[in-house]
Amino acid sequence: MPEIEIDPTTRIEGHHSTTLQVEDGVVTEAKSHMDMFRGMETVVLDRPPSDAPVFTQRVCGVCFTVHRMSSLLAIENAAREAGVFDGVPDTARKMRNLLEKIATLWNHAVHMFALVGPDYSDAVADTGLERLDPMEGEGYKKALDAQRQLLQGFAEFGGKAPHPLTYAPGGMSATPTEGKLQTIRRQVEYVSDWLGPTDAIPEVIGNVRNGEFDPSLGEGLHDIVSILFAAKEAGADDFGVGPGRYYCNGVYPDGEGDREVPAGIYVDGELSHPSKEEITSAITEDTTRAWYTDDSGGHPMEESPPKPDPEKDGAYSWGKAPRYDGMNMETGSLARLIVTDRDPFDLRADLGGDPTKSTTLNRLIARAQEAVLLRDGILELLEEIEPNATVNRGWTDDFSGEGVGLWEASRGALSHWVKIEDGTITNYQIITPTLWNLGPRDGNGTPSIFEGAVEGMEVTDYENPINVMRTVRSFDPCLACSVHVESPAGTYTEEVTPASPGTAAAGSERPFAGQEVDEP
């Protein structure tokens, strides 16, 4: 039985690989390997709760905002339960929602053009879509410019990107001035013009079908629809099929106790909207096939921070296997649109064949649909933010309690779990969307969503199993969020260039080029 090793499997991170067992040209077994130790949870132990958002946002340079947000929600939840926190001001809520929407739209642009688009480009797949060619295609380059514009707009309120400075416990630390609002509006409108008007989508679809290109209707829309049609032509509506079970935490609070995108569970064709308590009680993590001790698994609020067990028999991943009521669940843009019963312009129904079917194509369509919805929502939200309003009512770390922050990354459901005793973090857990989608098997042998979606797929070219690659990328995996590295004690050489040649900042203790430093 031939074995195919794909390493790396993504363009965004190098520490994920996949092993395929293939028989008669069909994948009979897939193993999803996360190849680095996960340990960010241990970094925040014994620190005050307000430190957690600052550290955990650095899990990843792509999903930086959502980790800070989820961590804030977790510690604020704990503080509220302890009776020392009354909630963020309304303007801070709107600012957070605005920044999160901008960051997710940026993520979608990165996904569609830098991570997935090349799989359907002329350079990679001989499709004739030269605009999608990485680094050289005009569509690719225009998308890079749009991404830059979005991050510049984000930085007006966020301070910088990645790793914003202004998401603060209790609200925000940045004031929304009229000047900043106007700057963000200009940046977003620039991107909006590149993307094209929402109501032009039917005409753009007609253009792409006929091989026509009208930049006045949006270069971005033409390129994105071209990706979708190329994926359809490749048969992506029939491969990468998941079980059709979806999980969404909900996102963007509306100020009245609900969220613009509600929490939802879709199983066996039935949609439900469980409470936060129902969601948190149903989640567990299985470590049977992960290089962690048994007590590193279980319910997130009770399990130990991750303890490595790299010699563990039968394990093959540094990722855990999260489960909802014992079930593997798909999460992401497709899940969010299904739990809100949205299929803009009936694209998943018409192009994908079924709006709720879990396929490589429907994941791409859902991300494109959500990008347009986000753009429209950002422009509306900018009109609602009141300049110079109150954004923070203060914060204290002096409390004990437990909290969970449920949020949505662009890739899907994200949760942070914290225990605090006398102002000190005693336990912390992070469950990422990539763990839900690309984790290992559990103790019952149930594969992750990705592993199950790949099994049964045909592989005609063992040297280039492109449809398997298209499937893994359709989940938009981000491995840094799901695993992290721990460096052993040792001596390293660090290269540092002073701000001015031959000088250094007064009092700086940082080493100069070539100086050896000991790092734990």
- Residues at the annotated binding site for Fe cation? 63, 481
- Runs of H (alpha helix) within 21-111: 40-43, 51-56, 64-81, 90-110
CA dihedral for 337, 90, 415, 405, sign (positive or negative):
negative
User: Comparing C-alpha atoms, which of 363, 365, 292, 378 is closest to residue 104?
Assistant: 378
| Per-residue buried b or exposed e for 410-424, using 16+ beta carbons within 10 Å of the residue's own CB | bbbbbbbbbbbeeee
- Can you say how many angstroms the Cα of residue 494 is from the centroid of all Cα atoms in its chain? 31
Classify residue 289 by burial, with Cβ atoms within 10 Å: 0-12, 13-18, 19+: buried
Count of beta carbons in the 10 Å neighbourhood of residue 444:
10
Q: Which residues are annotated as a binding site for Mg(2+)?
A: 41, 430, 484
Tokens at 417, concatenated? 């779990």
Q: Are 292 and 316 in contact (CB under 8 A)?
A: no
Q: Tell me: cis bond preceding 8? Omega within 30 of 0 counts.
A: yes
User: Comparing C-alpha atoms, which of 444, 432, 441, 447 is closest to residue 241?
Assistant: 447
Task: Give backbone dihedrals phi and psi of 193, rounded to 5 degrees, phi first.
Answer: -65, -40
Q: Which residues are annotated as a binding site for Ni(2+)?
A: 60, 63, 478
Q: Name the helix (H) or strand (E) containing 419.
A: strand 412-421
Q: What is the DSSP code (8-state) at residue 518?
A: E
For residues 457, 459, 464, 469, the Cα torsion angle rounded to the nearest 10 degrees is 0
Q: Which residues are annotated as a binding site?
A: 41, 60, 63, 430, 478, 481, 484
Report the C-alpha gap between 287 and 227 in whole angstroms. Answer: 37
**DSSP 3-state assignment of 257?**
coil
3-state helix/strand/coil string of 4-42 = EEECCCCCCCCCEEEEEEEECCEEEEEEEEECCCCCHHH
Cα–Cα distances in angstroms (integers) from residue 290 to residues 19, 141, 284, in the given order: 15, 40, 14
Report the C-alpha gap between 252 and 295 in whole angstroms. Answer: 34
Entry field: residues in the chain: 520
Report the C-alpha gap between 434 and 258 in whole angstroms. Answer: 26
User: Comparing C-alpha atoms, which of 484, 493, 468, 385 is closest to residue 26?
Assistant: 468
